[in-house]
Amino acid sequence: MLIDQFISYIEAEKRFSKLTVSAYRRDLAQFAAFLSAEFGETDLLQATTPMVKSYVVAMKERKLLNRSINRKISSLRTFYKYCLRENLIEKTPTTGVKALKQPKALAKFVSEADINKVSFAELDDFPTCRDRILFELLYQTGMRQAELRSLCDTDVDLGAMTIKVHGKRNKDRIVPLSKEMTRMILQYQRMRDEAFGPTSHLLVNDKGEQMSPYFVYNKVHLMLEGVTSLKQKSPHVLRHTFATHLLDEGASLVAIQKLLGHEDLGTTQIYAHNTIEQLKKIHKQAHPKG
């Protein structure tokens, strides 16, 4: 099946993440269903530009957010570029289909005062130690939850006080660790090995197995629940918080780009907007004529 061949391509050659692959498969299945229902067309290779534009209109009528629609358009573009490469079509039906405008959303982050309110029970047990490591690694390194879950003991160099993070497209980056962080990791590893023996992942759940995305999300949500009024309390908020706090303390955007593993500096510049908005807020609150 064509979609399966494409999925194998983005998995093996493009090395997209599992979540991205799943989204692409879902997007293509939805477009295929639309073609069949609206045009009686069951072959994706027969899609035309007007059909793709009709799909965009249909999604707008369903009140989908522009961001979601743009992601689905991006999925179709990638799919039809693959079809061009394989000489399955002569031109892509996504030509002339423009991405919809969407407001630039500021990255949500937790203030330094609030992040310091996060606390853990005074218990010397494995779950408490693991939860603290989970939180500190996300906040002190800015890694993504998927990167956190994939960490192995061999990725940690306690002597050099660094950790190797396996980013998107299999691109690794080295992130420094604090002395206190390395001490905490060493203590955690001893407790983990006593409880479960050798494991293939650095951080594990309460059964000694690899943590699921939901497990990490739930832990972070509970940690942030009592310290911030943000509606979003996800691991990615800690990534935004890491970057914003670095910028507020004088770090350069280029340095933050490398720490986050961004390919494009433009992606990192969202945090500069955060800082500008904070300055505006402070000016408005503090200046007599603000």
Q: What is the dihedral of CA 98, 79, 264, 237, to 10 degrees?
A: 90
> Catalytic one among 25, 164, 168, 258?
168
> Catalytic one among 201, 219, 245, 262?
262
By CB neighbour count within 10 A (0-12 exposed, 13-18 middle, 19+ buried), where does 177 fall? buried
> Catalytic one among 132, 149, 239, 245?
239
> Catalytic one among 71, 164, 166, 236?
236
- Whether 273 is catalytic is no
Between CA 114 and CA 226 the distance in angstroms is 9
Task: For residue 108, give the nearest of 287, 283, 250, 236 by alpha carbon.
Answer: 236
Q: State the residue for tokens 């061999």.
A: 154
- Whether 169 is catalytic is no
- Whether 271 is catalytic is yes
> Catalytic one among 130, 132, 144, 149?
144
- Whether 15 is catalytic is no
- Whether 221 is catalytic is no
DSSP string computed for 243-271: HHHHHHTT--HHHHHHHHT-SSHHHHTHH
- Whether 245 is catalytic is no
Between CA 256 and CA 242 the distance in angstroms is 9
Q: Which residues are catalytic?
A: 144, 168, 236, 239, 262, 271
